[in-house]
Structure 1
């Protein structure tokens, strides 16, 4: 494999990971908004800075949350 091919492959992987993370951000915000109503902009901003694993935890727990306070424990 040439250097150009390796770089292209790394770029594709990075792009896919970034796309998945963006999708998780969108999903988390959408589900939380549907459950609790409009979210404060600061809350959305903090969610958009979370890593993919934390976003996945938030999405998976959506049915367990009774308030946004339950979600805040994942947001720093």
Structure 2
């Protein structure tokens, strides 16, 4: 595989499986409703450290850093 192809790969943040175009990607019902934080990095598929609090959550990938619920609300 080339490095360009590796950069285009995406992973399901709830299952960690690589997303393949044209193949159904199952998302847990609680995640689809916005009740579950991501558990896997979308860029590399690695399991993340996740902390949930009453006012949100944050998740940290050892390679790609931290994302949090407050940043995602503005998308």
Normalised TM-score (structure 1): 0.33
Using CA pairs below 8 Å that are at least 6 residues apart, which structure has the higher relative contact order? Answer: 1
More helix by share: 1
Q: Which structure shows the bigger proportion of residues in strand conformation?
A: 2
In the superposition, the TM-score normalised over structure 2's length comes to 0.33
